[in-house]
């Protein structure tokens, strides 16, 4: 048994050394896991998510049950105006226990490109539209259990648009100097993942961070 444990440890070390180049391709990672699926037991299907227990063969040869939450993904906008201010929502989130600050964002509708999603959400929530858009990349929000990929975009050359928030959205729109938002992202005062990553990537693009 001890010899087997040593072999597993060695395999884990090899995998750890190999993983970084793989992780850099995060949005493509799902292609790698599909051939490993042995069985899937559906547990729950809601308005947004699906939950299943997947039996999976891992790269080290182990077969394990994994609890997986499937999400269609989302898109978020880092909208920066002519005064170098970024649009943030002070939004009520029950799961977070109250109000937090977030970028305008929303989930992808079926077969919807993320650039369409983000334009819609910026207008509906931020009450602005952008003439210029640039991708800031994507990331997995919590890859241990969650398939959600969030796509980030920098939006500039802003003009006013009609705000059309959904009935269950409770938020106020604020505009912060980008430098202040960067400082609060670094200090931990901002706690939403997409907002922290989006602001820091946008600031890097703008040569601020």
Looking at per-residue pLDDT, the higher value among 39 and 28 belongs to 39
Sequence-ordered list of residues with C-beta below 8 angstroms from that of 37, at least 6 positions apart, any chain: 54, 55, 56
Instruction: Please name the residue that has the structure tokens 């670094």.
Output: 186
Sign of CA dihedral 27, 31, 36, 40: positive
| pLDDT number for residue 209 | 58
Residue 7: the pLDDT is 38
Average pLDDT over residues 176-204: 98
Handedness of CA 66, 149, 127, 205 (dihedral sign): positive
Strand partners, 39: 55
What would the two tokens of residue 134 be? 């640039």
Percent above pLDDT 90 for the chain = 77
Joined tokens for residue 132: 């210029």
Locate CATH 3.90.79.10 in the chain: 74-205
Rounded Cα distance between 3 and 12, Å, is 14
State how far the Cα of 37 lies from the Cα of 68, in Å rounded to an integer.
Answer: 12
Q: How far is Cα 107 from Cα 124, in angstroms, rounded to an integer?
A: 13
Tens digit of each residue's pLDDT (9 = 90 or more) over 111-121: 999 999 999 99
Cα–Cα distance, 8 to 132 (Å, whole number):
50
pLDDT value at residue 8: 41
C-alpha–C-alpha distance, residues 95 and 103, integer Å: 17
69-95 tens-digit pLDDT: 999 999 999 999 999 999 999 999 999
**35 pLDDT higher than 80:** no
Residue range 125-140: mean pLDDT, rounded: 98
169 belongs to the catalytic site: yes
Q: What is the pLDDT of residue 207?
A: 80
Is 6's pLDDT higher than 60?
Answer: no
Cα end-to-end span (Å), the chain: 51
pLDDT over 70 at 100, yes or no: yes
Q: Are 198 and 152 in contact (CB under 8 A)?
A: yes
Average pLDDT for the chain: 86
Residue with tokens 């010899």, as numbered in its chain: 3
User: In a 10 Å sphere around its CB, with 0-12 CB exposed, 13-18 middle and 19+ buried, how is residue 146 labelled?
Assistant: middle
- The CATH architecture that domain 74-205 belongs to is Alpha-Beta Complex (3.90)
Q: Which one from 115, 169, 174, 189 is the annotated catalytic residue?
A: 169
Q: How confident is the model at residue 29 (pLDDT cuts 50, 70, 90)?
A: very low
Contact 164, 123 (CB under 8 A): yes
């Amino acid at each position: 048994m001890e010899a087997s444990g040593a072999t597993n440890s060695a395999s884990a070390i090899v995998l750890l050394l190999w993983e970084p180049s793989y992780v850099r391709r995060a949005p493509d990672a799902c292609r790698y896991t599909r051939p490993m699926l042995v069985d899937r037991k559906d547990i729950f299907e809601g308005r947004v998510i699906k939950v299943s227990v997947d039996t999976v063969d891992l790269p080290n040869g182990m077969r394990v049950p994994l609890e997986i939450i499937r999400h269609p993904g989302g898109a978020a906008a880092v909208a920066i105006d002519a005064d170098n201010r970024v649009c943030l929502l002070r939004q009520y989130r029950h799961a977070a226990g109250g109000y937090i600050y977030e970028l305008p964002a929303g989930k992808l509708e079926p077969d919807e490109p993320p650039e369409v999603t983000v334009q819609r959400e910026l207008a509906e929530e931020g009450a602005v539209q952008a003439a210029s858009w640039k991708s800031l990349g994507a990331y997995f929000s919590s890859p241990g259990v969650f398939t959600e990929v969030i796509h980030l975009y920098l939006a500039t050359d802003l003009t006013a648009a009609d705000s059309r928030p959904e009935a269950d959205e409770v938020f106020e729109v604020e505009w912060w100097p980008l430098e202040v938002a960067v400082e609060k992202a670094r200090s931990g005062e901002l706690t939403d993942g997409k907002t922290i990553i989006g602001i820091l990537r946008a600031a890097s693009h703008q040569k601020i961070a």
